[in-house]
Amino acid sequence: MWADYEQDLLAVEDRLLQFAGDANDYIRDVTSHIIRSGGKRLRPLLMVISSRLSGYSGPDMTLLSAVVEFIHTATLLHDDVVDHAEMRRGRPSANQVWGNQAAVLVGDYLYATALWMATGIHIHEINDVLTLACRKMSEGEVLELMLDNNLAAREEDYFNVVECKTAALTAGTCRMGAILGNLDPLRKKALEDFGYYIGMAFQVADDTLDYMAQKDRLGKTLGKDLSEGKMTLPLLHCLAHSPTPQREVLVQRIGQGEITDMHLGEVVGFMKTTGSLDFSLERAVSFMRKAKQSLDPFPDSLHKQNLLALSDFIIERDL
Amino acid sequence: MWADYEQDLLAVEDRLLQFAGDANDYIRDVTSHIIRSGGKRLRPLLMVISSRLSGYSGPDMTLLSAVVEFIHTATLLHDDVVDHAEMRRGRPSANQVWGNQAAVLVGDYLYATALWMATGIHIHEINDVLTLACRKMSEGEVLELMLDNNLAAREEDYFNVVECKTAALTAGTCRMGAILGNLDPLRKKALEDFGYYIGMAFQVADDTLDYMAQKDRLGKTLGKDLSEGKMTLPLLHCLAHSPTPQREVLVQRIGQGEITDMHLGEVVGFMKTTGSLDFSLERAVSFMRKAKQSLDPFPDSLHKQNLLALSDFIIERDL
């Protein structure tokens, strides 16, 4: 799937480094550090396939692919400050190397640069979609912060956060592909829906894998969400379905900071008894199925097949 | 001068509160706190007078006035995190009340909301000017961070920071007024130049007043820049013109954190011997004169007179 878009994605990398290099040395260093740290480039890939499925493969496809990755990168920089992160994808996070101040301000710079690049295309419909997605994302970040360590959090609060912080940008990304290709309103909506559901599936799967994945495969620390008090779906489900003594242990672990392997093993054990991991994965799979169904208005093609394969990958990557 | 635009500015206040209130309770609380904390509304005033001077007084004037104030407010929230500020305009800063995390994320939300509002007007020229100004601002913030405590900083580095972090937005604001009024290129440039020079004059005056103003008049802590290691014009000039023993004392005080009244008195004393305060004020006055000259292409009118009066106010506000 990636192979079909290798040239497109290489052009996006060039564009990312070009815009990172366009600033002073310091911004370039911080930006290159986080850009080169091996993100999955999921959003550029969505932009590229959506554009090509819509019949567009001109320069604005590459530019907007870089834009959505820059916006995503900016939120990572701010997230790491907010979460006091020390590592990102197996390397020291930017805030660890350059300090919180640099991470906040370079994040602002990347975000501003991305919007300056995007509005330079001069398509109002693109601007409307992108700035609304950005607004929802930042609202989602605040909503997530409000839920941290919040034992009154409900599943619907969680899904609202995921919708804002993740699905808004993936939905907007796919819709921008359809806009570049001048599709009719029905297919624009179809691609937007695809992006929405794949974003939901991705985030719910990611939040579940935080309790399942093997540490060396993702370069992530297992149990990170628990130690940070993130009220994600498996934890909410487990809390709601735990008998009182088990619930009391869970409450103690939420936001505890350092989580030992033993503590984590115990919590994962609880989640197995309440079926919370299976429940969460099933929700991710359900969003994935809706993503696939959204593409029904499109006839079969290489690009449609690749979007369907991407949907499977979102779920199966680490299982 | 303010009185001539009282109704316009009240409409801007309504718009600010309306957009702050459009989000969840938490965002509204943080936003209202900083919006209500009595800023000077210099940028909305520039937007209003520039628009009216250009013959436009429709709803986009009010909207863009709120946009530039939101963008300014977002940078204040991030600045306070970066500077570890405890107070802002005589009240506890947002990061003190709600924490750094909230200040970072609500700043992002205000910024995203502002750009969403602005692009909704659907004028490409406005988008180009505004996003470029935002990009320069964020670059200026990073440049300023790099200069902190930097004894190798030169006057040109300082002016470059001021140009980016302050003058880019005031220049863009005045140019947007001219765009709304559909002025010819020469007058668009004239208003942009006015905004540029008034931004330069304002910031240089502000940085000088940090060593001069009486505490109770500005609601600011005197000597704040010195304690934070900000390499502003009076300090750079004083360093460059101090004999070695005096320079050594200055170097010790830069970024020292707590600055006692005695230490500050000593530094201000040095600045008087080197003429650094007079030098800095003279630079501010010189920018102010250039601002006034920029308006030459405009015939005399109430709005032109008010921009001229505003130029004087920028310099004379606290002397």
**How many residue pairs bridge chain A and chain B with CB atoms within 8 Å of each other?**
123
A contact test, residue of B104, B134, B157, B160 with most A CBs within 10 A = B104
Q: Longest C-alpha distance within chain A, in Å? A: 60
Whether residue A128 contacts residue B119, with contact meaning beta carbons closer than 8 Å, is answered with yes
Cα–Cα dist A90/A220, whole Å: 6
Indicate the pLDDT class of residue A319, thresholds 50, 70 and 90. Answer: very low
Cα–Cα dist B51/B178, whole Å: 6
State pLDDT tens for residues B285-294: 999 999 999 9
Examine the pLDDT at B7 and tell me if it is beyond 70: yes
> How far off is chain A from B39, nearest CA to CA, in Å?
22
Contact residues, chain B, for A108 at CB < 8 Å? 75, 78, 111, 138, 141
Indicate the pLDDT class of residue A26, thresholds 50, 70 and 90. Answer: confident
A160 reaches B (C-beta below 8 A): no
Which pLDDT belongs to residue B125? Answer: 98
Cα–Cα dist A305/B3, whole Å: 64
Of the candidates A100, A105, A128, the beta carbon closest to that of B120 is on A128
Beta bridge partners of B92: B87
Residues 6+ apart with CB under 8 A from B213: B220, B222, B318
Cα–Cα dist A231/A29, whole Å: 34
Contact residues, chain A, for B82 at CB < 8 Å? 100-101, 104-105
Cβ neighbours of A230 (radius 10 Å): 21
Rounded to two decimals, what is the model's pTM? 0.93
A43 reaches B (C-beta below 8 A): no
Cα–Cα dist A252/A248, whole Å: 6
Which pLDDT belongs to residue B147? Answer: 94
Whether residue A205 contacts residue A315, with contact meaning beta carbons closer than 8 Å, is answered with yes
Closest CA to B115 of B131, B102, B99: B131
More confident residue, B28 or A190: A190
Which pLDDT belongs to residue B319? Answer: 45
Whether residue A160 contacts residue A136, with contact meaning beta carbons closer than 8 Å, is answered with no
Examine the pLDDT at A281 and tell me if it is beyond 50: yes
Q: Say whether A145 and B101 touch across the interface (CB within 8 A).
A: yes
State pLDDT tens for residues B121-151: 999 999 999 999 999 999 999 999 999 999 9
State pLDDT tens for residues A137-155: 999 999 999 999 999 999 9
More confident residue, B256 or A131: A131
C-alpha dihedral (A250, A254, A259, A260), degrees to nearest 10: -10
Look over chain A and give the mean of its residue pLDDT values, rounded to a whole number: 91
Cβ neighbours of A284 (radius 10 Å): 22
State pLDDT tens for residues A217-275: 444 567 888 988 999 999 999 999 999 999 999 999 997 878 888 898 999 999 999 99
Least confident of A271-280, B52-61, B95-104, B299-308: B95-104
Q: Which residue has the tokens 């029904």?
A: A296
Q: Say whether A142 and B100 touch across the interface (CB within 8 A).
A: no
CA B95 to chain CA centroid, Å, is 20
Indicate the pLDDT class of residue B99, thresholds 50, 70 and 90. Answer: confident
Examine the pLDDT at A73 and tell me if it is beyond 80: yes
Indicate the pLDDT class of residue B237, thresholds 50, 70 and 90. Answer: very high
Contact residues, chain B, for A78 at CB < 8 Å? 104-105, 108
Beta bridge partners of A48: none
Cα–Cα dist B171/B189, whole Å: 9
Interval A95-103 mean pLDDT? 82
More confident residue, B251 or B83: B251
**Structural domains in chain B plus CATH codes:** 1-122 (1.10.600.10), 130-319 (1.10.600.10)
> How far off is chain B from A108, nearest CA to CA, in Å?
6
Rg value, chain B, Cα: 20
C-alpha dihedral (A85, A87, A92, A94), degrees to nearest 10: -40
CA B72 to chain CA centroid, Å, is 8
Least confident of A119-123, A187-191, B220-224, B240-244: B220-224
Amino acid at residue number B93:
S
More confident residue, A129 or A255: A129
Beta bridge partners of B91: B88
Of the candidates A27, A116, A139, the beta carbon closest to that of B132 is on A116
Rg value, chain A, Cα: 20
Interval B68-95 mean pLDDT? 83
Which pLDDT belongs to residue B17? Answer: 87
DSSP conformation letters of B51-111: HHHTT--SHHHHHHHHHHHHHHHHHHHHHHHHTT-SEETTEE-HHHHH-HHHHHHHHHHHH
% of chain A residues with pLDDT over 90: 71
